[in-house]
Chains A and B, each alone.
Chain A
């Protein structure tokens, strides 16, 4: 059943995000083609070429930004429409648990977020192919990663980075679901309620995380020139922050589920 729920959540999300990715990559390709055709170099190029390149570049930049924001907006809308609006009369009467509904949306959302990151990276390729040699790009990435790994993180740094990405991938969605669900408890002001819940969550979580982050600092004064101590400290801070957010997201997940099961009234 979970697989089927994920299938339909992915279908619902892909209706919006796939065209967005197509526009992103398409505008990147179009931009490169225009630059090549008109040998565009800014000063001295004809006015039509300038306008065309500007418009396409504008579309590209907007879709780059859109990829980041629009994906989360679609995830929020899908959650709200499936479970909080009239469609809830159908979805919440399916023979599945509330956990399955939440997990399905989390997994489908995570897949779409990862896809948007891939589209983001792929959209750069048409702009750089032929201009920068691929081996140079790979060497740049490899050198940068070596620098981070050697000087910025302790030996478990890779694991910590993976954990951070994993927690952020799901946690960011849990916050959205939690705030939307809380908003439903204000029958006449649901959207305002969700917005206020989100602001409250931001203020509270940032305040408490700042306090907890300081627990990760073992020394009052850190010698930032001592790379070993710096790496150790950063890892400690990251790990403490991850643990804190895992606890917060777990509480919010459970709260979301409880409200869905016991307090929700779709009207």
Chain B
């Protein structure tokens, strides 16, 4: 398996606060990786640095061997935790926009997923409920045949039935050529999907192990270990 993301001594500070503290890790293609941690642990900051939305204070972040830029954005599909799409557009306009900007976007896949979730393409994005807006955003991100998917809280704002669909969609897109990085604190829901778990605590990596190892060597689920590590 080849490395898709590499972080070396990666640090991000905001004044006196350190959001990410000397992070060293690699992510390999063909894995679904859970980026797990409580609020304020640095998950979103790390994902934003991967996507070129933040510049590291020090250290290096490489995507497919290159610094975040046009080439890395071409192969990375990003789902932010906020609703980021122009809300005045209709869903079919958004599909066309993705086709325009991303050569790896699969229009048929997107339309099928929209139909599965009973989302009318003629509807304007701003008339949708918050949950449906998040579903549309997720569908557009997952309809790309990217090499790296960065999903920041993909199931946080949707109902439990839709969560199952979303996780199934992620699994169906999973292939040996892609890595999927999921940031979430709904660990019970995603655990069965994950190959690897990264625990972030106050910007520091406290655990980097496969889910199988965690279960076999520690004799507990990822969720149980999370509650132990991050106990208040």
Question: CB within 8 Å of B: which residues of A?
Answer: 1, 4, 7-8, 12, 15, 86-90, 92-97, 261-266
Q: Which of B71-113 touch A at CB < 8 Å?
A: 71, 73-74, 76, 78, 80, 82-86, 88, 97, 100-102
Bound together, the chains give a CA A265 to CA B48 distance in angstroms of 9
B1 at the interface (CB under 8 A from A): no
Selected contact of A95 from candidates B73, B82, B84, CB within 8 Å: B73
B204 at the interface (CB under 8 A from A): no
Tell me if B55 and A266 are in contact (CB < 8 A). Answer: no
Tell me if A86 and B70 are in contact (CB < 8 A). Answer: no
Selected contact of A15 from candidates B71, B82, B88, CB within 8 Å: B88
Tell me if B84 and A87 are in contact (CB < 8 A). Answer: yes
Tell me if B52 and A92 are in contact (CB < 8 A). Answer: yes
With A92-B52, A93-B51, A96-B70 as contacts: A86 and B82 at CB distance below 8 Å: yes
B224 at the interface (CB under 8 A from A): no
Closest to B79 in A: A89
Closest to B75 in A: A95
Tell me if A93 and B73 are in contact (CB < 8 A). Answer: yes
Which residues of chain B come closer than 8 Å to A15, judged between CB atoms? 88
Which residues of chain A come closer than 8 Å to B85, judged between CB atoms? 87, 90
Tell me if B101 and A265 are in contact (CB < 8 A). Answer: no
Which residues of chain A come closer than 8 Å to B76, judged between CB atoms? 93
B171 at the interface (CB under 8 A from A): no
Closest to B93 in A: A11
Q: What is the CB-to-nearest-CB distance from B217 to chain A, in angstroms, rounded to a whole number? A: 37
Q: List 19 A-B contacts (CB under 8 A).
A: A1-B101, A8-B100, A86-B83, A89-B80, A89-B84, A90-B85, A92-B52, A92-B53, A93-B51, A93-B52, A93-B53, A94-B73, A94-B101, A95-B101, A95-B102, A96-B70, A97-B69, A265-B53, A265-B54
Closest to A97 in B: B70
Bound together, the chains give a CA A94 to CA B84 distance in angstroms of 12
Closest to A8 in B: B97
Tell me if A89 and B70 are in contact (CB < 8 A). Answer: no
With A4-B101, A89-B80 as contacts: A95 and B53 at CB distance below 8 Å: no
**For the side of the interface on B, what is the size category?**
20 to 34
Bound together, the chains give a CA A1 to CA B101 distance in angstroms of 7
Which residues of chain B come closer than 8 Å to A264, judged between CB atoms? 53
Tell me if A261 and B55 are in contact (CB < 8 A). Answer: yes
Closest to B88 in A: A15
Tell me if A266 and B86 are in contact (CB < 8 A). Answer: no
Bound together, the chains give a CA A93 to CA B148 distance in angstroms of 13
Q: What is the CB-to-nearest-CB distance from B69 to chain A, in angstroms, rounded to a whole number? A: 8
Q: What is the CB-to-nearest-CB distance from B196 to chain A, in angstroms, rounded to a whole number? A: 24
Which residues of chain B come closer than 8 Å to A261, judged between CB atoms? 55
Bound together, the chains give a CA A88 to CA B88 distance in angstroms of 15
With A94-B73, A97-B70 as contacts: A266 and B88 at CB distance below 8 Å: no
Tell me if A95 and B52 are in contact (CB < 8 A). Answer: no
Given contacts A89-B80, A89-B84, 16 further A-B contacts (CB under 8 A): A8-B100, A15-B88, A86-B82, A89-B78, A89-B82, A90-B85, A90-B86, A93-B52, A93-B78, A96-B73, A97-B69, A261-B55, A262-B55, A264-B53, A265-B53, A266-B53
Bound together, the chains give a CA A214 to CA B93 distance in angstroms of 54
Which residues of chain B come closer than 8 Å to A266, judged between CB atoms? 53
Q: What is the CB-to-nearest-CB distance from A248 to chain B, in angstroms, rounded to a whole number? A: 26
Closest to A82 in B: B86
Closest to A94 in B: B101
Bound together, the chains give a CA A265 to CA B51 distance in angstroms of 12
Which residues of chain A come closer than 8 Å to B78, judged between CB atoms? 89, 93
Q: What is the CB-to-nearest-CB distance from B90 to chain A, in angstroms, rounded to a whole number? A: 12
Which residues of chain B come closer than 8 Å to A265, judged between CB atoms? 14, 53-54
Q: What is the CB-to-nearest-CB distance from B204 to chain A, in angstroms, rounded to a whole number? A: 21
Interface flags, B142-176, vs A, CB<8A=1, else 0:
00000000000000000000000000000000000
Which residues of chain B come closer than 8 Å to A1, judged between CB atoms? 101
Closest to B51 in A: A93
